[in-house]
Amino acid sequence: MHPRIYAELERICSRRGAGGAVLEIGAVPSEHSLLCLRCLSAAREKIGISLDGPSRYRDFEILRVNSNAMDCFPERHFDTILCASTLEHDPFFWKTLAELRRVAKPGALVVIGVPGYAEDPARWRRVIRMPLHLPVIGSLMRRGLAQWLASTPTLVPHNCPGDYYRFSRQAVEQVICAAMDEVEIRTLMIPPRIIASGFMP
């Protein structure tokens, strides 16, 4: 995970009061785990799930659980649920969202990060046009400029084990965050990463 994304997740979780019983979907047994966020140091319970588990790291355990069917957890158990750089690798991500909603307590903080499309097409067009004044590059680019201006940057495929989706801001707001209250959405970097946070009703 890019350090800027990790820092933003730390900021969001700290500001929005993450803690209590915490679940990370797609956890890794390393310092890159969101369960290692400083703001979670006093969390009552920290559990990660992954298809690569089981394992243990620092003060948390990672279970081998498919997030599409988290039957090992009771309903309304977690106060905080974190899921970053995971849904794009889940061919049935909507099942994970349904399970996430099932295991979240009312009022639980949910933070989800996904790769997206460029949020500001005008900004992307400015980036594309910058090298047009260079003789060789500009000539090559002008030939395909219309195609470039109709495109948007996205994160390159990175199989872990598969890579299936990129999400628009609209999809994050209306699909991923459909059941949440007090939703906040941030877009960072190019290619963009979208981070959404909200509370379960």
Q: Are residues 52 and 135 in the same domain?
A: no
- Spell out the per-residue pLDDT of the chain, length 201, in tens: 899 999 999 999 999 999 999 999 999 999 999 999 999 999 999 999 999 989 999 999 999 999 999 999 999 999 999 999 999 999 999 999 999 999 999 999 999 999 998 656 566 556 656 665 666 666 656 566 666 666 677 888 888 889 999 999 999 999 999 999 999 999 999 889 999 999 999
How much is the pLDDT for 117? 84
Q: Are residues 135 and 173 in the same domain?
A: no
How much is the pLDDT for 159? 86
Residue 158 inside a domain? The answer is no
Q: Which residues does 68 contact at the CB level (< 8 Å), separation at least 6?
A: 90, 92, 95, 96, 99
Residue 110 inside a domain? The answer is yes
User: Of 153, 67, 155, 72, which is closest to residue 115 (Cα–Cα)?
Assistant: 155
User: Of 156, 159, 197, which is closest to residue 180 (Cα–Cα)?
Assistant: 197
If you count them, how many residues does the chain have?
201
Query: Helix (H, G, I), strand (E, B), or coil: what is residue 68?
Result: coil
* Residue 130 to residue 112: CA distance in whole angstroms: 33
How much is the pLDDT for 131? 61
Q: Are residues 100 and 131 in the same domain?
A: no
How much is the pLDDT for 134? 65
Domain with 76 in it: 3-117+163-199
Q: Are residues 112 and 124 in the same domain?
A: no
- Domain of 109: which CATH number? 3.40.50.150
Q: Are residues 139 and 191 in the same domain?
A: no
Q: Are residues 112 and 123 in the same domain?
A: no
Evaluate whether 22 touches 79 at the Cβ level (below 8 Å): yes
Q: Report the alpha-carbon angle 12-52-104, nearest 5.
A: 40
Residue 157 inside a domain? The answer is no
Q: Are residues 72 and 19 in the same domain?
A: yes
Among all chains, which residue has been given the structure tokens 């990370």? Answer: 24
Residue 34 inside a domain? The answer is yes
Q: Are residues 53 and 134 in the same domain?
A: no
